[in-house]
Amino acid sequence: MSTVSIGQTIRRLRKERNLTQEELAGQLNITSQAVSRWESETGLPDISQIVPLANVFGVSTDVLFGTFGVDNDAEVKKIIEEAFAPVRTAYSREQTDAAYAIRWERLQEGLKTYPNNIRLLSEVLSCGVCMFRYSEEPEEKQRFYGIYSECKRAADVILSCSRDLEELQDTHGWLVKLYVKAKEFDKAEEQAAFLPKNAGTIIHHDDPEKEIRARCEAIYAHLRELEFEIAWLSVAYRKQGRIEDAYSACRTFYDTICSVYGDYTYRMPFFVSEPYQGRLAAFALQLGRPDEALDWLEKMYEDQVAMAENWSKGICFDVPLLRGVTGEMAKDAYNVRPGLLGVLSQNVFESIRDTERFRELLAKVEALPDLSV
């Protein structure tokens, strides 16, 4: 059983609903001193006040008593597993629809025993959203309205009573999907506001052009985040001496960028402490592959010079995954010379510094104009 007292629960619920002790007391037609005694655990609500309290907070009475969701975990787990079993063996659309109908019925039976179990309610919500279809046909409309109502009820209980952040975010995410399916886009937007930015919850508006732009912008943002994470992942691998893993991580991102940007590959829109080709060259050399390292350094020079020659503060990409996205740059021109010299001066390239290819590359870089002068 929960060790949270009824006084602690009342205090938490009151604060979450932005009520003062005086405001809560006014709604219950009692004194604020009575509320204070409950929360300080020097007194308890009269039994006649329990239901009104629950109504004010919009929760069930077992939430007040701290018994919400205190059920037989093994039994609930068994109900969920048995309910999902038919879905695992369904392959066709017809089989899947039938399997979800069985799952729904079994979950509803489980709710009769455990009406406020969070895990069970989460299953009901996800199952119902998967089943829901928008329909104007009267009989179908009535059936799906019942599913819609049950999903809303499950979500309302979870959002009122759960304190688990991941659980709350999942619930908001399912509500977004439910409202989109019901063509209630304003409600979907409201729920999406509770989720982290770029959480994959862009609303499917009826305007395909608007959705394409929104999806492409989200992909652009995810690519920026991916670059940051992979850059630091490669550093962590390098510190552990796992150079092959560091190389593979950077190579994967570079190949991804080349695939996504196509003809715009030279125009790498993201920046870390050094160009990715320089990182790949350093890792290749540490792996005993000097010719490959020189290939990457030469590629770095070609891409960076092309970037400088084609520089503009904004570029509107015209590739399928980034259609219409504009990359905004902070400066009017790109001074490529200092960055390239910085890479080539690194100690890691000492063993190839006297090779003809390296000397020729260094001479070309030194001949570039320095725009900072």
Per domain, the residue ranges of the chain are 6-64, 73-192, 208-366
pLDDT, tens digit, for every residue of 20-35?
A: 999 999 998 899 899 9
- Cα(257)–Cα(275) distance, rounded to whole angstroms? 13
Rg (CA), the chain: 30
Name the percent of the chain lying above pLDDT 70: 86
φ/ψ of 314, rounded to 5, equals: -140, 140
Q: Residue 365 has what pLDDT? A: 94
- Cα(237)–Cα(247) distance, rounded to whole angstroms? 9
Alpha helices in the chain (DSSP H): 6-16, 21-28, 32-39, 50-57, 61-64, 73-88, 93-113, 118-131, 138-161, 165-181, 185-192, 208-239, 243-261, 276-286, 290-309, 336-344, 356-366
Q: Residue 185 has what pLDDT? A: 84
Give the number of C-alpha atoms closer than 13 A to the C-alpha of residue 306, restricted to the C-beta side. Answer: 13
Q: Residue 244 has what pLDDT? A: 96
pLDDT over 60 at 271, yes or no: no
| Fold exhibited by the domain 6-64 | 434 Repressor (Amino-terminal Domain) (1.10.260)
pLDDT over 60 at 181, yes or no: yes
The answer to whether the beta carbons of residues 62 and 54 sit under 8 Å apart is: no
Strand partners, 328: 314
Tokens of 263: 């003809």
Q: Residue 1 has what pLDDT? A: 37
pLDDT, tens digit, for every residue of 193-244?
A: 887 755 555 565 567 887 788 888 888 888 878 888 888 899 899 999 999 9
pLDDT, tens digit, for every residue of 108-167?
A: 998 887 777 888 999 999 999 999 988 888 888 888 899 999 999 889 888 877 777 888
pLDDT over 80 at 2, yes or no: no
Arithmetic mean of pLDDT, 346-371: 93
- Cα(15)–Cα(13) distance, rounded to whole angstroms? 6
What confidence tier does 273 reach under pLDDT thresholds 50, 70, 90?
Answer: very low
Q: Residue 274 has what pLDDT? A: 60
Point out the least confidently predicted range of 69-78, 92-101, 296-305. Answer: 69-78
* CATH ID of 73-192, from 1.25.40, 3.30.420, 1.20.120, 1.10.8: 1.25.40
Arithmetic mean of pLDDT, 302-330: 78
Alpha helices in 162-207 (DSSP H): 165-181, 185-192
- Cα(212)–Cα(216) distance, rounded to whole angstroms? 6
pLDDT, tens digit, for every residue of 316-325?
A: 778 888 888 8
Amino acid at 27: Q
Strand partners, 80: none
Arithmetic mean of pLDDT, 39-53: 83
Q: Long-range contacts: 83-88, Cβ < 8 Å, 24+? A: 83/107, 83/110, 83/123, 83/127, 84/123
- Cα(316)–Cα(220) distance, rounded to whole angstroms? 12
Name the percent of the chain lying above pLDDT 90: 32
Q: Residue 242 has what pLDDT? A: 96
Q: Supply the mean pLDDT for the chain.
A: 83
